[in-house]
Each structure stands twice: as C-alpha cells, then as structure tokens.
Chains A and B, each alone.
Chain A
Amino acid sequence: MSEREKILGRIREALKVSAPLPGSHGDTSAVHTAAESPASHAREWLPSVGASEAEQFALFAKNAADLKADFQLFASRDDLKAALTKLRDAEKWSRVASHGGELADLACKALGLPVTITDRGYDVQEMEKCDAGITECDALIAQTGGVVVTSRSAGGRALSVLPPHHVVIARREQLVADLPAAFAMLQQKYADNYPSMISFITGPSRTGDIERILVLGAHGPKKLTVLCF
C-alpha cells in the first residue's frame, strides 16, 4: 500500500466519528448542509468599500499611500508617459526589465532605455543589473491598495520581485472593489487554465523582524509605483 493510501485510509477512519460544528456547543448532531460556502458573504464582513469608481480610486490611493507605494492616476496615456520619463530621470535608471504587452510596450518606448525582455527566457544576472521591472497587472484592488500579477500577464515570476523598483502600468478599468471581486475575476478569466503563479502584491517588500521596526525592500522591491490611466 502506498503512503498515499495509508494516509487517506487513516483520514477516512478518523472521519467516521463526527466533530462538533463551530459554535454548536459540542452538539455533533447538527449536520452541515450549507448550499453556499460559509465565506460567500465575506464582502459584508471585510472592510467596507464605496460603491462608485471615484470612491474606490480614493480608497486605493489612501491604502497605497499607507503602504508606502506610489500611486498616480492620469487623465491620458500621454500624461502617464510623461510621468514615467520623470521617474526615470529622478531615479537615474539606466536599464530596465519588462515583458511584451500593449501597456508594457508603451512604457518601454516612453522610457527609451535598454530593456531586458523576459518573454522568451532571459539571463538572470542581466535582470539583476536592471534598475526597475515594468509590468502590466490583472487588477488593482481598492480594498487593499494592492495589485494582482500573474506569471502569464506580468512577464514571469521574477520580473515583479527581483528588480529593486517595480512599476505597474494599469488601465482604470482594471480596478476592482475588493478581494472577493478579485478572486471571482481571476476564476472567470482563467477558468481551468491558470498561470502557474498568481500573486497579490500589497505594497513594496517589507519586514518587521528586527524589533518590529518596518523596513522596506527586505528582498523584494523597495519601491512600488502604480501608474494608471
């Protein structure tokens, strides 16, 4: 018998005896017959999010600021491109990494710098020399001030975490209200063919391991910039 069969066998044997439901005060006769999942009403209990796009962007902006992420919302793609070149000059970038995609292409063209493109594989040591990683994203989440990236839509696994500055280029339509909406969107978008990595990024990398003092840029990016139009 394989270990798998042994372990599953032990589990099935153990589960022959019922355990009390939470909050049932030890009554094991209460049978769990919920048709929908217990967490399906999570929206009602998580922190509240306004209904309008304006409220949601305001919430996203506030949360991003609390996280020490830089967020800017532009009226046009030209304004975004201008801000990007300003950022390049202020940060003194000489090389960036990115991936293929409409918004990523737009950003790289605007920057006019040497780019390491990840799409068909790349040299990690070359990416390590890049000042910033420019990626697209799957969603902005108002409730958390966070960004959702995947290995399929953001140039692989390392691009959004290895370079010291992560820049996200997003469209305003990509804003979703809350975490339940983000998971529902991902489930609908990718159905049964998920990217091998989906990551919810909430602020620049950080640690509190030394005396619980917040330090940014522990291993991942020290800076996170979200540019949206």
Chain B
Amino acid sequence: MSFVSQFKSLASAKTRDLRHRSVIRTALRSYEVVRDKRKAAFQSWESARQAAAETKWEAINHLDEHLVALTAKLEARGTKVHWASNGAQAREIIAQILRDKKARCIIKSKAMTSEEIHLNDALEKEGFTVVESDLGEFIVQLRHEPPYHIVFPSMHLTRGEIKDLFQKELGDAPSDSPEELTMVARRVMRQKYITADVGFTGGNFAIAETGMISITENEGNARLTAALPKTMITLMGIEKVLPRFSDLALFLPMLATAGAGQPMTCYNTMYSGPRQPGESDGPEEWHVVLLDNRRTELLADAEQRDSLHCIRCGACLNVCPIFRNVGGHTYGTTYSGPVGAVITPHLRGLQEWKHLSNASSLCGACTEACPVKIDLHHHLLQNRRNASAGQPSFFEKLAYMIFGIVANEPAFWSLAKKIGWLTQPLQRAVKGSALDPAKAWTKTRDLPPQPLESFKDWWRNRK
C-alpha cells in the first residue's frame, strides 16, 4: 500500500473512532487552558515570538559558523563530535561506540531523532538491550508502537489501557491510578540507570557561544541518563543551534509555555563536556552525533528554510484540527502534525509524502501557535505547488484548465450553471451511490439546493 493510501485508510478509521477523538480532545483542552494562562503571564508573548524567530533566523542562516564554533568548544573539553550525513551513518557511529565499549545495555532518554533514524530496531537487531526511560516512551515501547506525539508519546492511552499493559508486560500493575503506574515505571527504571553501560540522549538546543547542549525534560530521566553510565551519547539534528548562552533565557520558558503550558519545564540542563577534572561523577566519554539526514536540502529551499527554526515544542500539533481528529499514528512518520506535514516531503521525498501537505484545510492555526513564527500553512501550499509542478496529475490539471475556460467566459459559466440546475433531480437520484460523482461530499453531507436564478441573472435582470 502506498503511503497516501495508508494515510487515507488510517484517517478513515480514526475519524470514525469517536472514543479516540474524545480522549485527544480532553487531553488537548486541558493543555489549552494552561497554555493560555502561561502566555498571558508574559508581558509580551508576541514580542518574545518575534525575537525568538529572529534568533533562530540568525542561527540557521549562519549555521556553518555556529556548528564550527560549537564543535571546537565541545572538542576542547574532551567531547568527541561525530558528523552523520544520513541515518545509516548515524546508526553505524552509535553502534560502533557500543561495540568499542563492549556495551550490552543502553538506557535512553527521549530523542525524536532516534525515532527518525530507527535506532532502537537497529541496535536491538545487533543484540543490544535498549531501554526507554521517559515514561511515555517506555509505555509505547512496551506496546511496540511509535510515539503518538513528539512531546506526549502516550497521549492516546487511558490509564486503564496502561494498567493492562503493565500487567501484561511487567506483571506489575496495582491499580489504574496514574500515580501508582508512574511509580511502577520508576521502580523498573531505577537499577537500569545504575547498571546501564551507555546513556543516550537527544538535544533540544546547542549553544554555539559556549559549546553546550541543552536538554529539556520533566521527569529527570535524562539527568540520570547523563549522570550515571560511563559512556554518554547525544544525537542531535544540526538545526538545533542557538547562537548565545543567554538565548536560552528566552527559549526555555517559550518552549515550556508553547509545548506544555508550563512556565518552565522541570529540568533544563546544559552539558559542556564529559566529566571534567575535579568533578565527582559523570560519563568518562561523551559522544555527540550531529545529524544531517536531508536537513541541508531543506536549508537549500530558501522559501521554506524557516522550517528548520522548529524547536519541536508540539504546539502546532496541539492546535491542528487534522491532528486532533486523525491522531499522531495516522501520519505514518516520525514528525506528525503541521510541522511534519511541511518537512516530511523534504526529508523523505516530495511525491511520496505530498499527501501530508494536501491533507489540510490551511486554516493557519499552526502558524499562529508557532513560538518561532514559522510560516507553516503557507509552506503546505508551497509543497503543493512544488509537487504539482514536478508531477502534475493529468486529470486534475485538465479539470482546472476546463474550469479556467468556463470561469473566464461568461457564456460558458452561464451554461455550466444551467446544467447544474437541470441535473439536480439526477443528483438526488444517485445521491451517495457509486454513480454519484459528488460521492465524496454526499456520503456525509447534503448538497445545497441550486436556485434557478443566480446572482448574475438577478444583476442582469435589474437593468
């Protein structure tokens, strides 16, 4: 099945699943309440957005300089920096580190880039044990499914489902209380932090000025992942750069506000190297893997370059009416929602993934929500333009050509309206059936009745 057929099939199933729609709506409603409260607490959210957008512009439009500065500073303090042009290279770099260290168990904190390159599968195939420590990631790992949302991986599950899951996979689920279920995960993870050979993290921001990688989380699992194992590996997209240390004073509260309606996420931690002389713990070795994986292609599209400004807050997913009704898994790819619909055609192929850009009413809620002012919904339009230019659909192009002829010629337009009016009884007869050309509409909606006298008729008769 092609990606687009898969998408449509899943979308049909999910939009009919009223229970699922209700779970998502409830989750996102509670997010909206706190998000609005936190935005209102800013003296000027809009000024903050503009500054954040300009800062990211500076970061991305001087990306090579910042990456060179970042790398130099990291390497000066003992960090090993690796560069991966694609997922295969990144996987091999990481696997080789594990082999060199004779590692058996790797504990991970949340990293969407690791989803992007399908790291877990590759490592598990080679015999390594991979443990997801973030509660939401841990839950979906047990279910053998991908994360549902880039920030809230298990948003689609109820406490009852999680209780059943823990009972089945862990044999430990005293009740369905979120508190008790969380404590189960805490207990499971405890010794894993202490005994894991390698800790693996993602990165939210990379500071060029001071050579640091900043990690944002609520649970503390990333802090533990970066504290206890002897070897630490961080995988990060090259676009995560910020120019200055002080930029974090703006980005950390904005990420928390837009992403979760929190004033600050619980732990925001900046790492500048492996354990330094005089420090009492921390990894002896820190490997940072910088990932391109076609981000440079997106960079080359100057019109859509600002998509690389994304700080992966998830705000656009949360407000998107398509996301809310079909859910994260329907997209069938790592990055879902509006930002996923914009970048996936660039990262995975325009013609194979253009349907994500097509599956939108272009309402613009995403662009309005984006804390760094990415022009998301206009990029969807641009993807559509690029896709049709590259591979026009014969019938669609023909239909629009005919439409153009009819629209530009008053006589044809008038004729078309008359035909429309005359065939109404026929439309009513075939409504909703296989013969109905308007079936896509009439399956769930009534067509509006067409009056005999159009506006143009009335205007003409006035004279």
Contacts and interface: CB of A to CB of B under 8 A. Distances in A.
Interface of A: 2-4, 6-8, 10-15, 17-23, 28, 32, 34, 37-42, 44-48, 63, 99, 118-122, 124-125, 128, 144, 146, 151-152, 155-159, 161-162, 178-180, 182-184, 186-187, 194-213, 215, 217-221
Nearest to A8: B64
A215 B218 CA distance: 11
Contact of A210 (B52, B64, B178): B178
A209 B136 contact: yes
Contacts of B77: 196
30 contacts: A6-B83, A11-B67, A14-B296, A15-B64, A19-B303, A38-B58, A39-B51, A39-B244, A46-B43, A46-B48, A48-B43, A125-B194, A128-B190, A144-B264, A151-B279, A156-B280, A157-B223, A158-B227, A158-B281, A161-B227, A194-B212, A197-B272, A202-B264, A202-B266, A205-B220, A207-B135, A209-B139, A210-B135, A217-B182, A219-B219
A37 B247 contact: yes
A128 B219 contact: no
Interface stretch (B154-162, B333-341, B411-419, B448-456): B154-162
Interface of B: 27, 30-31, 41-45, 47-48, 50-55, 57-58, 60-64, 67-68, 71, 77, 82-85, 89, 133-136, 139, 152-155, 157-159, 162, 178-179, 181-183, 185-186, 189-190, 193-194, 210, 212, 218-221, 223-224, 226-228, 238, 243-253, 260, 263-276, 278-282, 290, 292, 296, 299-300, 302-303, 305-306, 372-373
B88 to A, nearest CB: 12
A121 B280 contact: yes
Contacts, number: 313
Contact of B245 (A3, A118, A187, A209): A187
B85 A6 contact: yes
B281 A219 contact: no
Given A21-B57, A37-B247, A210-B159, A161 B83 contact: no
Per DSSP, chain A at the interface is: loop
Contacts of B135: 207, 209-210, 218
Given A37-B243, A44-B43, 9 more contacts: A4-B71, A18-B61, A128-B190, A195-B272, A196-B271, A202-B268, A203-B266, A205-B218, A220-B221
A47 B272 contact: no
B226 A157 contact: yes
A151 B267 contact: no
B292 A7 contact: yes
Contact of A201 (B41, B158, B267, B279): B267
Contacts of A157: 223, 226-227, 279, 281-282
B399 to A, nearest CB: 30
Interface centre among B51, B89, B226, B250 (most CB of A within 10 A): B250
A143 B268 CA distance: 15
A45 B51 contact: yes
B300 A14 contact: yes
Contacts of A23: 50, 53, 373
Give me the 6 closest cross-chain CB pairs, A-B, nearest first.
A220-B220, A22-B53, A157-B227, A218-B219, A38-B54, A14-B300
A87 B204 CA distance: 36
Given A37-B244, A196-B275, A180 B249 contact: yes
B61 A19 contact: yes
Contacts of B154: 209-210
B300 A198 contact: no
Contact of A8 (B62, B68, B134, B219): B68
A197 B245 CA distance: 14
Contacts of A12: 64
Contacts of B306: 19, 22
B61 A156 contact: no
B250 A217 contact: no
Contact of B246 (A44, A187, A219): A187
Interface centre among B63, B64, B85, B267 (most CB of A within 10 A): B267
B246 A37 contact: yes
Contacts of A32: 54, 57-58, 61
Contacts of B244: 37, 39
A12 B62 CA distance: 9
A15 B276 CA distance: 36
B142 to A, nearest CB: 13
A64 B242 CA distance: 29
A14 B154 CA distance: 37
Given A196-B274, A200-B267, A39 B223 contact: no
Nearest to B71: A4
Nearest to A182: B249
B252 A219 contact: no
